[in-house]
Amino acid sequence: MPDGLQTKPASSKLWKRLRRLPLTLYLGGTLVTLFVVVALTSFIWTPYPPNNLNLTNRLAPPGSSGFLLGTDRAGRDVVTELMLGARNSLYVSVVSTVIALFIGSVIGLSIAGSRQIVQGPLTRLVDVGLALPGILTALVLAAKFGPGNTTATLAIIIWQIPVAARVIIGPARQILALDYVEAAYGYGRRKSFVLRRHVLPNIGPLLIVLGSVMFAAAILIEAALAYLTVGVQPPTSSWGRFLNETQSLLEAAPYLMFFPGVAIVLTALGFNLLGDGLRTVLDPQQSRSGVS
């Protein structure tokens, strides 16, 4: 190239790199951010106070004065209900995903690092865990401990731990077969060190992606459990229960079910898209990080 050709300004280079980011990352990121913002805002402000029964204004259609999206059968503002539902989803999903991911990682790493003879059977055990029907577990827990957020969170955790563990075992094993792990043993490092300081950092991107996908699943499961009335109970708001209530209103207010329904779908979709986008972005680095 001839000298004297202008170099591109830094801003256009940044723009180029931003343009190359996958669409899923933007879409997912937007939806997730929206969700989190709405959920967090609900702590400091909602259009109406929670549980604001307003029996004179039941089932007001969207666009009625003061009620942007209308009211439900107890007169509660839909927007407020959605915001509070978001808060509940966020709470349950965060707690359950973090705990499940942590425990699942510990289990996955331990199995990957275990002796050849036991690895097979242990992995099969995890598979059994995967095969357990989650909803059934939730129902059993609800029968034993009563419905509520805690039960829902516990059910999600039990459901998701095998998922996390299973996903981690493969890549962890691959890393353990790499030369730098062998080198570490060669200068005296113990297996626990290797798992913590060599394997874990190198599956970082994988964990991030796994986390977002697990989050999406948690949103859906929480909603499903609430829908089945084994999740959080009134007066706490939840999208799932909201959805349940709107079913009996198909004649009186058929539009109502779209609100919680769309909220659930968009949020779960957002996390899935985010996970997909992150995977695409982090993948080229992954081949450098040693996980094929």
Positions in the binding site for other proteins (CB under 8 A) = 1, 115-117, 178-180, 182-189, 193, 198, 201-202, 204, 288-290
- Please, what is the minimum distance in Å from the beta carbon of residue 185 to other proteins? 6
- For residue 92, give the nearest of 150, 15, 11, 6 by alpha carbon: 150
- Please, what is the minimum distance in Å from the beta carbon of residue 227 to other proteins? 43
- Considering the complex, state which of residue 182 and residue 283 has its C-beta at the smaller distance from other proteins: 182
- Please, what is the minimum distance in Å from the beta carbon of residue 178 to other proteins? 5
**Dihedral angle sign, alpha carbons of residues 277, 282, 286, 287:** positive
- Considering the complex, state which of residue 131 and residue 177 has its C-beta at the smaller distance from other proteins: 177
d(CA 155, CA 142): 9
- Please, what is the minimum distance in Å from the beta carbon of residue 202 to other proteins? 6
- Considering the complex, state which of residue 18 and residue 177 has its C-beta at the smaller distance from other proteins: 177
**Dihedral angle sign, alpha carbons of residues 101, 102, 107, 113:** positive
- Please, what is the minimum distance in Å from the beta carbon of residue 187 to other proteins? 4
- Please, what is the minimum distance in Å from the beta carbon of residue 6 to other proteins? 13
- Considering the complex, state which of residue 52 and residue 114 has its C-beta at the smaller distance from other proteins: 114
As given in the structure block, the two tokens for residue 158 are 């039990």
d(CA 284, CA 292): 10
- Please, what is the minimum distance in Å from the beta carbon of residue 181 to other proteins? 8
Find out whether 88 and 225 touch, Cβ atoms under 8 Å.
no
- Considering the complex, state which of residue 63 and residue 284 has its C-beta at the smaller distance from other proteins: 284
Give the CA count within 13 Å in the CB-facing half-sphere of 125.
Answer: 8
- Considering the complex, state which of residue 145 and residue 193 has its C-beta at the smaller distance from other proteins: 193
- Considering the complex, state which of residue 144 and residue 288 has its C-beta at the smaller distance from other proteins: 288
DSSP-derived secondary structure for 198-218: IIHHHTHHHHHHHHHHHHHHH
Angle, helices 78-112/239-247, rounded to nearest 10 degrees = 130
Q: What is the number of other CB atoms lying within 10 angstroms of the CB of residue 168?
A: 26
